[in-house]
Amino acid sequence: MQHISETQLNQYQLLLLNSLETLRHSMTDILMRSNHTCHNLSAQQLQKISTDDLIELALKIEIPSITHKISTMKSIDAALNNIQIDMYGLCSDCEEPIEITRLNIDPTTQRCLACENRYKKQKHNEYKL
Ligand SMILES: [Zn+2]
């Protein structure tokens, strides 16, 4: 059940890859400037390691400014994986197709509108408790 055309899928993939690349660059920059003793990798090496490894490394170093970048990177990575296994654009909760308008706003969207609202409500309630 694929509601996204091949052309659209390719566009999303391109968008995702571009933002991942940008993120990787700024992350490498931050890591290089951090002077943290737990990594001895050169910028060149950092550019070659997998996104997973880069995330792992960044998590170890715990620089507040990259925490947000890491979570964005994770969702981009997840979306790219979903493209690979033909599950892109399906809601992670109910597995129904996610509204194209939502994907156009944010290609890493993982939930349909109904589930997103339910999820937000749940989080909000947790927060209140
Ligand atoms: Zn859903």
CB atoms within 10 A of CB 26: 12
Q: How far is the CA of 97 from the centre of ligand 1 (A)?
A: 8
**Domain at 6-128: CATH architecture:** Up-down Bundle (1.20)
Q: How far is the CA of 91 from the centre of ligand 1 (A)?
A: 5
* pLDDT for the residue 36: 61
Q: Does the pLDDT at position 48 exceed 90?
A: no
Q: How far is the CA of 124 from the centre of ligand 1 (A)?
A: 18
The mean pLDDT value of the chain amounts to 87
* pLDDT for the residue 11: 95
CA angle 71, 110, 98 (to 5 degrees): 155
Query: What confidence tier does 2 reach under pLDDT thresholds 50, 70, 90?
Result: low
| Nearest by Cα to 93 from 52, 71, 122, 126 | 122
Q: What percent of the chain shows pLDDT beyond 90?
A: 54
